[in-house]
Structures are given as structure tokens and as C-alpha cells.
A and B are shown apart, each in its own frame.
Chain A
Amino acid sequence: MRNDELPIAGEDDIVRSRQRARDVARELGFGMVDQSRIATAVSELTRNVVRYATDGRGEVLIRELRSPLGQPGLEIVVQDSGPGIASVDEAMREGFTSGAGMGMGLPGTRRLMDEMEIDSVPGRGTTVTIRKWRR
């Protein structure tokens, strides 16, 4: 079962991470549109890290999943030890897709994925977990 770990240190890693996520999605049998959704979500999340995390550093974990019923899925965790998101609720509210700061692009990413969890402690860091299941 695929379990990849990629560091985020600069903008090149945004491209690397989204390409790897797409490759794994393709391997798992996700269709073209889902591959695009997944690549885009990873791009949004890793860009957040590069732009707003401390030193722009973090990491991406790409994990293959299998549901109890045998459905294949993909889980991607993007984490950093940056400033954190002051208000996750506010970041998730519609209309937060424009503007600057950590949390940008989160509502859009949520729409692209089946599941999303945000763990953020101001001053310590943020962990965003997204999942998509193959139909």
C-alpha cells in the first residue's frame, strides 16, 4: 500500500507534491477528473505552507487507504509548524477563497474532496488531512 512522504521547502515542492499525488491517484484507479481534483487540492494546501508557514517548510504524506467494504481511497496529510490558523471556522466560511493568509483556499479544497479535517494550533502549526474515495 502506497505511503509516500515528501518534504515542503519551496515552490518546486508544490509541483512535486501535486504531481506525486496525481500519480498515486492514477495508480489507484481514480478517473481524470478526480486526479485533477486531488492534484489541485494538494497544490492549494502545499502553497499555503510555502507562503505562510514558518520558513515555508512542512511535509506532505500521501497514503493509500482501503475502506471496510474494500473501496480504495487516498489520504493526503499536509502539515507544518507555522503560525496556525486563528479561526478555522472563519477560514472555512464561504468567500474566504480570496484574500491572503493561512487558510486561503480551504473552502475550495473542501469542495473538491470527500473528507477534510483541520487541526490547527495558533503559534504551533497546522495539519490538514484530505481524503477521496474511488467511486
Chain B
Amino acid sequence: MARVPILRVRDLLVATVQEDLRDSDAQALEVDLGLALERTEAAGVIIDVSVVEMVDSFLGRLLNDMAAQAKLLGAQTVVVGIQPAVAITLVELGLELRGIRTALDIDRGFTLVRQLIRQERLRGTARAQ
């Protein structure tokens, strides 16, 4: 089983998908992220899919679910690096993934997730540090 590594960077979790994921690998990532969020109480999650060349309806929905799960656990999620070909295919499939925030690369992803965390804090629902 190819587990996607999850790194902790300060109060953020970073998961870098490095290969074409099997369905069970993707589901394992969702579980692992949930466990990591509980354990670390991270305020943000970055999922890096910059080397992923194909996102179908299964993985697309899973990404949505991961963001929703994170939100329930008080964390903001940003998916970074969706490739143009993948974006076009997803939209044509009918999956706009409105439930996830996205950024072009990991750098911008960090900036965006910080922004989202700040906004949530102002709204008073983010995790206390």
C-alpha cells in the first residue's frame, strides 16, 4: 500500500501526493489526515497534487470529503497544484469541487491557508493555539 506521507509544518499538515493513487490509497489518506488532525490539532491542511496527472470522480469527491472532514475538525484546507489538463477534465466531468479552496503552488498555498486561518480566527471558530 502506498501511503501518502503527511508532514507537520508548525500548525499545518502537508500531504504530498507522489503518484497515481489507488482507490484504497486515497481512502487511507483521508483516514490518515483525520487522525493527524485529531492528534496535532493543526489549523490548516495543504494537499499537494502537482504531480497528479489524473483526478477522476472518485478522487475528486474524496478531496471534497477531506476538506469537509478537516473543517469539522476546525482546520482549513487548500489543494495546490491541480494541473491544467486535470482541471479541464474535472470540469468536463461535471465536478467543480466548489467545496475546496485551491492555489497554484505550495507557496501560494501556504499564503492562502494562513489567510483562511486568520479569517476563521476572527470568526472565532478556529482552534485555539
Contacts and interface: CB of A to CB of B under 8 A. Distances in A.
A and B touch in the complex (CB under 8 A): yes
Interface residues of B, number: 21
Contact of B88 (A15, A33, A43): A33
B51 to A, nearest CB: 13
Contacts, number: 64
Nearest to A39: B54
A12 interface: yes
Contacts of B53: 22, 35-36, 39
Contacts of B22: 11-12, 14-15
Chain A interface mostly: helix
Interface residues of A, number: 23
Contacts of A11: 22-24
A97 B57 contact: yes
A54 interface: no
B54 A22 contact: yes
Contacts of A15: 20-22
A52 to B, nearest CB: 14
Nearest to A36: B85
Contacts of B58: 43, 47
Given A14-B23, A15-B20, A22-B53, A32 B92 contact: no
Given A97-B93, A108-B93, A35 B23 contact: no
A11 B56 CA distance: 14
A61 to B, nearest CB: 20
Contact of B93 (A33, A40, A47): A40
